[in-house]
Amino acid sequence: MTERLLIETLDRLASNGEYVDLWLRDDDCIEPTEALDAFLGAAARQKMPVTLAVIPAHTGEALAKRLESEPDVLVTVHGWSHENHAPAAEKKRELGLDRPIEVIEGQLREGLEKLTRLHEKRLFPMLVPPWNRIDPAVIERLPGLGFNSLSTFGPEKPAAVPMLNTHVDVIDWHGTRGGRDPDLLFAETAALCRPGGAIGMLTHHLVHDDVVADFLDRLFGLTASHSGCRWRSAADILASPAFPADQEA
Ligand SMILES: [Zn+2]
């Protein structure tokens, strides 16, 4: 079992007095469902902070009410309506320059306003682009629209706002569309562990099967109180990285 690989990696960090930050981003949330209850329940049992990427156009009061009882859930902005505007032959995207940039700006502004109204203090002004794709010109406009950060998938890049990405996707989108092999997920996570780094786990509660649920339970159980890592919210990591640059010299 490769979970051993992750534990050994975290043990090594801990023995050096170091740790890696872990965070959980769950996408495509709209409304309360049994799947959302199951996911939030699993996270809450181990006191895992959750960052939900909510689709503004399709969400409303029901989700806001459901989240009132969750102490450790942040809401972020998942595009506007999660609509694909790319030509048929290209990869799906909502925030490419397939429409005038003013239209995209208007929707992002409206999305941030709507989620701020619904979720007030729970709202964290991070943009999570649908399909993790966004044109660089749109990124340039984010500070002016009120966003303080951006989250996609893969290595972070310098941008007009700080980036905090996800790096491990639990779903096999191009194959079974169910959970990926837990051994692979543990190995990927272990390989990404760097002292002072942050690893984002990407989940989609609406399509989780037993494989994903079992993996998350094992991951949470193994790491919840390990001193080689800290589960933190996106807001906490961006506010104070594990090892700030001025302490590394
Ligand atoms: Zn999405």
As given in the structure block, the two tokens for residue 189 are: 């996570």
For 101-137, how does the pLDDT look when each residue is reduced to its tens digit (9 = 90+)? Answer: 999 999 999 999 999 999 998 999 999 999 999 999 9
* 130 Cα to the center of ligand 1, angstroms: 4
The CA 180 to ligand 1 mean position distance, Å, reads: 18
Measure 246 CA to ligand 1 centroid, in angstroms.
35
Ligand 1 mean position, distance from CA 78 (Å): 7
Cβ-Cβ contacts under 8 Å for 244 (sequence gap 6 or more): none
CATH 3.30.110.40, domain 3-243, yes or no? no
Q: Is the pLDDT of residue 249 over 50?
A: no
**What's the mean per-residue pLDDT of the chain?**
95
16: which 2 tokens? 């050096």
Question: Which amino acid, residue 192?
Answer: L
Encoding tokens for residue 61? 């009061």
pLDDT in tens, 89-99: 999 999 999 99
Query: For 77, how many CA atoms within 13 A lie in the half-sphere containing its CB?
Result: 30
| Domain layout of the chain by residue ranges | 3-243
**pLDDT of 58-97, one tens digit each?**
999 999 999 999 999 999 999 999 999 999 999 999 999 9
Residues 6+ apart with CB under 8 A from 105: 138, 141, 145
What pLDDT score does 1 carry?
63
Q: What is the DSSP letter of 56?
A: G
pLDDT of residue 245: 45
Alpha carbon distance 30, 42 (integer Å): 19
Q: Report whether 205 contacts 38 (CB < 8 A).
A: yes
Question: What is the 239 CA–ligand 1 centroid distance (Å)?
Answer: 25
**pLDDT > 70 fraction of the chain, expressed in percent and rounded:** 97
Residue 31, class by beta-carbon neighbours within 10 Å (0-12 exposed, 13-18 middle, 19+ buried)? middle
